[in-house]
């Protein structure tokens, strides 16, 4: 149907749009997630904790543990990539919202949403390269992770992090997480942290606040 898009042109267009329609908030500190792709057992306790806390029906999943596997029997591999909202430095969802229901918090960079303003146009869902905004078919609105702002404001951690049985999911100041300077159980003594893993959208699109400990098969060659 459609011609194959010229990605260079798209990139230029995106850059222009970001520059023109939105001047990103510059938070004092940016929270971000870190996930260890290897040590994660893929139990999805984080997903269920999130659904319970946010009272979600079947369908929307704020947090998604993605199972990746490959190889040929018996030489196989498997790992997990765990993502919710990446609370991007330049969130793609934000400028698409006709009612201003999405905004970025100035103190910690959390991309928050007020779904009671949502008119269900689903533009943000289409805009996000990571699938963070989730359609609630019962309510006919979009909802998404807000990093449990209530817990953050009370000085605690989001429910998903506190649910992690393996302690491989955590939050922290994203700059420090990328530099490996933030003390967290998610990172083992010999682990490296990266900003991108295989088959993940280009971080330059929205500058997602997420760090990973990659699987050896999940590394992106730079």
Partner 1 sequence: MNKPDDTILNQARRSFLKTSAAGTVLASSSGLLEMALGQKDANAFPYEPYYRDDQLTTVVTSCDHNCGSRHMLVAHKKGNVIVRLSSDDGRYQAGGEFGKDTAAEPQLRACLRGRSYRLRLYSPERLLYPMMRVGERGEGKFKRVSWDEALDHIAKKMVELKTKYGPTAILDQAYAGSSYGVLHKSDQIEGLLARFLGMFGCRTNSWSVPSYQGTTFSSNMTFGTIQDGNEDDAFAHSKLIIMWGWNPAYTFHGGNTFYYMRMAKQNGCKFVVIDPQYTDSAAAYDAWWIPIKPNTDAAMLAGMAHYIFQNNLQDQAFIDKFVQGMDAGTMPEWAKDQESFKDYIMGVRDKIPKTPEWAEKICGVSAADIKKLADMYARTKPAALKASWGPGRNAYGEQYNRMAAAVQAMTGNIGILGGCAEGVGKGWHAESSAYPYDENANLWWASIKSDRWAHCVLNYPNVKREEVGCWPRDDELDGKIPNIKAIFWHGSDWFNQLTNINKEIEAIKKLELVVCSDSTITPSGLWADVLLPIATHFERHDVGLPWYKGHYYIHRPKVIEPMGESRTDFQVYTELAYRLEKLDPSLKDFGKRYNPRADRSYFQNPDATDEAYLVAWWKRVQHHQGVTMSWDEFKRRGVYKFTFDKPHVAFREQIENGVPFETASGRIEIFSTTLAQVTDWKKTQWGYPIPAIPKWIEPFEWMGHPMVKEYPFHMITPHPRHRTHSIFHNIPWLRETFEQEITINASDARRLKLVTGDMVEVWNARGKIVVPVYVTERCMPGVVVVYEGSWMDLDKQGIDRSGNPDFLTKDEPSPAGAFAYNTILVNLKKTTLAHRPGWDSQATSRSFVFRRDA
DSSP characters for 14-43? HHHHHHHH------SS-EEEEEETTT----
The tokens for 170 are 């955590």
Nearest to partner 1 of 52, 179 (CB atom)? 52
Cβ partners under 8 Å of residue 147, min gap 6:
31, 85, 87, 110, 158, 171
User: Does 139 interact with partner 1 (rule: CB under 8 A)?
Assistant: yes
Interacting residue with partner 1 among 150, 179, 192, 204 (CB under 8 A): 150
For residue 93, the minimal CB distance to partner 1 (Å) is: 13
User: Does 42 interact with partner 1 (rule: CB under 8 A)?
Assistant: yes
Q: Which of 130, 143, 167 is nearest to 34 (CA)?
A: 167
Interacting residue with partner 1 among 18, 34, 56, 169 (CB under 8 A): 56
C-alpha 9/C-alpha 123 separation (Å) is 21
One character per residue 74-93, x = contact with partner 1 (rule: CB under 8 A)? x-xxxx--------------
C-alpha 95/C-alpha 217 separation (Å) is 35
Q: Are the beta carbons of 195 and 34 closer than 8 angstroms?
A: no
User: Does 121 interact with partner 1 (rule: CB under 8 A)?
Assistant: no
Q: Are the beta carbons of 70 and 81 closer than 8 angstroms?
A: no
Interacting residue with partner 1 among 73, 183, 221, 222 (CB under 8 A): 73
Interacting residue with partner 1 among 35, 63, 87, 105 (CB under 8 A): 105
Q: Which of 58, 49, 80 is nearest to 148 (CA)?
A: 49
User: Does 145 interact with partner 1 (rule: CB under 8 A)?
Assistant: yes
For residue 185, the minimal CB distance to partner 1 (Å) is: 8
Interacting residue with partner 1 among 22, 64, 122, 131 (CB under 8 A): 64
C-alpha 202/C-alpha 220 separation (Å) is 11
* Interface region with partner 1, contact rule CB under 8 A, candidates 123-131, 171-179, 182-190, 200-208: 182-190
Nearest to partner 1 of 14, 157 (CB atom)? 157
User: Does 207 interact with partner 1 (rule: CB under 8 A)?
Assistant: no
Nearest to partner 1 of 13, 149 (CB atom)? 149
C-alpha 18/C-alpha 122 separation (Å) is 19
For residue 123, the minimal CB distance to partner 1 (Å) is: 17
Nearest to partner 1 of 43, 194 (CB atom)? 43
User: Does 98 interact with partner 1 (rule: CB under 8 A)?
Assistant: no
Q: Are the beta carbons of 31 and 109 closer than 8 angstroms?
A: yes
């Amino acid at each position: 149907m459609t011609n194959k898009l010229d990605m260079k042109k798209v990139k230029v267009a995106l850059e222009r749009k970001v520059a023109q329609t939105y001047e990103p908030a510059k938070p004092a500190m940016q929270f971000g997630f870190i996930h260890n792709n290897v040590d994660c057992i893929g139990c999805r306790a984080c997903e269920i904790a999130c659904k319970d806390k946010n009272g979600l029906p079947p369908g929307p999943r704020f947090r998604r543990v993605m199972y990746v596997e490959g190889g040929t029997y018996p030489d196989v591999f498997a790992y997990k990539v765990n993502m919710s909202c990446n609370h991007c430095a330049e969130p793609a969802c934000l400028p698409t919202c006709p009612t201003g229901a999405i905004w970025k918090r100035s103190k910690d960079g959390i991309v928050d949403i007020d779904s009671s303003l949502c008119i269900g146009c689903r533009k943000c869902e289409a805009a996000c390269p990571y699938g963070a905004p989730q359609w609630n078919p019962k309510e006919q609105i979009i909802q998404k992770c807000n990093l449990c702002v209530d817990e953050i404001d009370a000085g605690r951690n989001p429910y998903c992090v506190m649910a992690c049985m393996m302690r491989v999911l955590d939050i922290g100041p994203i700059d420090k997480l990328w530099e490996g300077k933030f003390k967290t159980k998610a990172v083992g003594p010999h682990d490296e942290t990266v900003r991108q893993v295989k088959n993940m959208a280009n971080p330059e699109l929205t500058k997602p606040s997420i760090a990973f400990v990659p699987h050896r098969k999940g590394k992106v060659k730079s």
